[in-house]
Structure 1
């Protein structure tokens, strides 16, 4: 399953919500440095979908706030 995700790095409160245009908005506490926010994004999505972190991969947007993420359910 492919999802469009908008990441909000350095957030005070972490969480996942659905925006009006059916895009997931994920707030992560990690800063956008050296891939830390991407790592935390994968951890949060793995918890949310109850799958292993290895089953989630960022397809595009590694350095952007808008990403395409693939989840292997």
Structure 2
């Protein structure tokens, strides 16, 4: 079982999650593992990293996993990088970790 504790931080408005994204993957998957060195959760997206398609796919996938609207998921760092920080509004750290554990099984 993966541990995602170091990749999820609580904020006054929700949580931030550190991601290690692979765009253009064969299938979308989240969480798709854990990068211990970067302390980030691996995320695979089928959308290509062109014209913001991968970023939109990430926000859609995370909104579905955490049960929030797409507007509650914001990429706050790494818009053009495979390393991203995402903010999810209205979600506690404990709820986020529970969602990750459930989605990862």
Instruction: Give the shorter-chain TM-score range.
Output: over 0.9
**Which residue of 1 is the match for residue 28 of structure 2?**
14
Structure 1 counterpart SS, 2:30? strand
CA RMSD after TM alignment: 1.1
Q: How far apart, CA to CA, are the structure 2 residues paired with 1:20 and 1:38?
A: 20
**Unpaired runs of at least 5, structure 2:** 1-14, 91-105
**Which residue of 2 is the match for residue 70 of structure 1?**
87
1:3 Cα shift? 0.7
- The 4+ residue runs of structure 1 with deviation greater than 6 A are none
**Unpaired runs of at least 5, structure 1:** none
Q: For this pair of structures, how many residues does the alignment match?
A: 73
Structure 2 counterpart SS, 1:44? helix
Which has the higher Rg, Structure 1 or Structure 2? 2
**Which residue of 2 is the match for residue 3 of structure 1?**
17
Calculate the TM-score normalised by the size of structure 2.
0.66
1:24 Cα shift? 1.5
